[in-house]
Amino acid sequence: MPGILSRYEALVEAGELTPDAEQAGAVRRLETLQSDLEISVAEAGLLRKFLGKSRPKPRGLYMWGDVGRGKSMLMDLFHETLRIEEKRRVHFHAFMLEVHALLREERKKETGDPIPSVAATLARNVRCLAFDEMVVNNSADAMIMSRLFTNLIEVQGVAVVTTSNRQPSELYKDGLNREHFLPFIALIEERLGIVTLNGPVDYRLERLGGMATWHTPLGEAATAQVREAFYRLTDYPPEDSAHVPSANLDVGGGRLLRVPKSLKGVAVFSFKRLCAEARGAPDYLAIARTYHTVILVGIPQMGPENRNEAARFVTLIDALYESKVKLFATAAAEAEYLYEAGNGSFEFERTVSRLNEMQSADYLALGHGES
């Protein structure tokens, strides 16, 4: 089986991929890591058999960049063409759920620090651990990641390869108890090669093929459109829709916000969850920092009796707009007819303007967080 570089070059030659210098550079780094892993696994077998020594530790990789730069595609190619059996590909959310389940079981044994045992379990028959979308949304994950990954990398000898929309120094930025997370950032910078994929072309946006972002009226047709956008943005198979990962987002003050669908920087919320419940700017800012795309479903037409919901909606849109978050929505009406009368309806006109701008090609072409 050819390695990742041969496969990538063949796809470019066949016209299935567009030539991209940054991607090609990342592929060469991944090819080197593949070679190191394949050699180290072979040598490790000999060392263990004849000398009793532990296996070598190839340097892993951390690929980061904005949405649509091809990170997941490269990870697919890397994992598929890696010629060792001791490999595992898993979404980061699913991995952390597994970690917490193992920790609970170890703590029941009351045998001391559970981290080494959990790391040993995770590393069993795994030489390369490949993640999609490393992101840290809550303090529970942040508190254990440094110690867990130090053990996986330094003690168990696992090579970690991961993608992220954020550079290492931006992970869990402004999060609760972030000081406990800083050693993990130092570990990434020391033990993983950093590969940047942050060029101007958003291939995932191209994949949307000009799909509209605002869908009205509410109903099955509108829901089908945003569902299609979700699968195009995340590459998640529609036939497995029942298993889309969820997340708990740390919004500050020890509070967690349940994200019903959370995958590759895309979040799905209902209007009721975000605007009918008592929420404020910190919640919306946390969403805007964490997700490059938000799908908001069930936006109703509002009247004077809905002034609180309308005010929260204004704050939400302000937060998303300022961080250049892409918004896909199902709504009962076009933006200008959502809130025509009631306290704050005059101020709502700015929100209408922003909602219309957020549907434009120029806005959609902006990177997450661009000012």
Quote the CA–CA distance of 257 and 261 in Å, as a whole number.
Answer: 12
Task: With beta carbons less than 8 A apart as the criterion, state whether 75 and 163 touch.
Answer: yes
In a domain, 162, yes or no: yes
Same domain as 289, residue 260: yes
- Reference 319, options 346, 344, 294; nearest CA is 294
Q: Which residues contact 314 (CB under 8 A, 6 or more apart)?
A: 344, 347, 348, 350, 351
Same domain as 157, residue 229: no
Quote the CA–CA distance of 341 and 336 in Å, as a whole number.
Answer: 11
Residue where one domain finishes, among candidates 196, 214, 235: 196
Same domain as 304, residue 241: yes
Residue where one domain finishes, among candidates 196, 224, 242: 196
Residue where one domain finishes, among candidates 196, 223, 251: 196
Q: How far is CA 62 from CA 106, 130, 149, 165, in A?
A: 29, 10, 13, 10
Helix axes 139-150, 182-191, angle to 10 degrees: 40
Same domain as 99, residue 176: yes
- Reference 127, options 186, 166, 83, 85; nearest CA is 85
Same domain as 91, residue 32: yes
Handedness of CA 319, 321, 326, 330 (dihedral sign): positive
| Mean pLDDT of successive 10-residue stretches along the chain, which has 371 residues | 88 86 92 90 58 61 84 89 92 84 90 92 93 80 89 92 88 82 91 85 70 95 94 82 86 88 92 94 90 95 94 94 93 94 86 94 79 54
Q: Is 15 helix (H, G, I), strand (E, B) or coil?
A: coil
In a domain, 186, yes or no: yes
Integer-rounded Cα Rg, in Å, for the chain is: 22
In a domain, 272, yes or no: yes
Q: Which pLDDT score, from 0 to 100, does residue 365 have?
A: 79
In a domain, 371, yes or no: no
Same domain as 235, residue 317: yes
In a domain, 253, yes or no: yes
Residue 81 is inside which H or E element, if any? helix 71-81
Quote the CA–CA distance of 5 and 349 in Å, as a whole number.
Answer: 52
CA 294 from chain centre, in angstroms, equals 12
> Which CATH number does the domain housing residue 119 bear?
3.40.50.300
Query: pTM for this one?
Result: 0.65
Quote the CA–CA distance of 297 and 85 in Å, as a whole number.
Answer: 42
Same domain as 207, residue 131: no
Same domain as 260, residue 187: no
Quote the CA–CA distance of 231 and 168 in Å, as a whole number.
Answer: 27
Quote the CA–CA distance of 240 and 55 in Å, as a whole number.
Answer: 37
Q: Is 263 helix (H, G, I), strand (E, B) or coil?
A: strand
> Which CATH number does the domain housing residue 235 bear?
3.40.50
Q: How far is CA 310 from CA 53, 89, 152, 346, in A?
A: 65, 42, 48, 12
In a domain, 219, yes or no: yes
Number of domains in the chain: 2
Task: With beta carbons less than 8 A apart as the criterion, state whether 222 and 216 touch.
Answer: yes
Q: Which pLDDT score, from 0 to 100, does residue 49 have?
A: 47
Domain membership of residue 145 as a residue range: 4-196
DSSP 8-state assignment for residue 339: B
In a domain, 369, yes or no: no
* Structural tokens at position 165: 């929309």
Same domain as 316, residue 212: yes
In a domain, 370, yes or no: no
Same domain as 27, residue 126: yes
Same domain as 263, residue 180: no
- Reference 231, options 289, 293, 273, 287; nearest CA is 293
Q: Which pLDDT score, from 0 to 100, does residue 232 have?
A: 86
Same domain as 179, residue 55: yes
Amino acid at 329: A
Quote the CA–CA distance of 133 and 234 in Å, as a whole number.
Answer: 11
